[in-house]
Homo-oligomer: A and B are copies of this chain.
Amino acid sequence: MDSNIRLPKTKVGYKSFYKIIEVSKELFRVKGVSTTSVNEIIEKAEVATGTFYNYFDDKLAVYKYLLDDYSTIIRKRIYDAIRTVETRYEKERIGIKTFLEFAREDKLSYRIIWESLFIDQRLFVNYYTNFSNAYVNQLAYAVKGGQIKDNIDLKTLSFMLMGIANFVGLQVVFEGDLSDEELDKITDQIMYVLKNGMFT
């Protein structure tokens, strides 16, 4: 689990660094991490072998950077979308819709994130544990404000909500290119169940 990175010190260095990241992302998405070699990354990124190892200990270091990056990008997109919204209900709706849009756009993101399960299970556990912790904080705040019922265990609720977003995200990936209107309708279905339950 060492597999460290060293950030560049120059603008030119950053150019190579991001080139390596971009090329790796594409290779990991299409071929998977386990079947991509450092040599392929170096060749496609058109950097010297030494340049690669200046910044990354190994392939796993690149992968860990990308996984962190996904976590940051997804959370930032959701945060930006919901931060000016008032109610928790609306925050949840827009947060879920933003996640579904992300799944529609980046159909292979699941591959990169879930491959952690095969590379080092701790990466997978950390990824979703961190996501759950952040979710619990948000939900706790809404409970305090009286917007979410105060008798639900928030850890389990966070896993439920992540599960809903991820699996309806799979539905979105499976169905191909859905329109914004269709995504809105799917989001409404989710919100209806979260608001009113599914049983009569």
Contacts and interface: CB of A to CB of B under 8 A. Distances in A.
A51 interface: no
Interface string A151-165: 111011101101111
Contacts of A197: 193-197
Given A32-B118, A195-B197, A200-B146, A129 B164 contact: no
B160 A190 contact: yes
A12 interface: no
Interface stretch (A14-22, A57-65, A109-117): A109-117
A45 B114 CA distance: 30
A195 B199 contact: yes
Interface stretch (A3-11, A73-81, A168-176): A168-176
A198 B34 CA distance: 40
B160 A168 contact: yes
Interface in A105-129: 110-111, 114-115, 117-118, 125, 128-129
Contacts of A32: 34, 118
Interface of A: 32, 34-35, 88-89, 110-111, 114-115, 117-118, 125, 128-129, 132, 146-149, 151-153, 155-157, 159-160, 162-168, 170-171, 174, 185-186, 189-190, 192-200
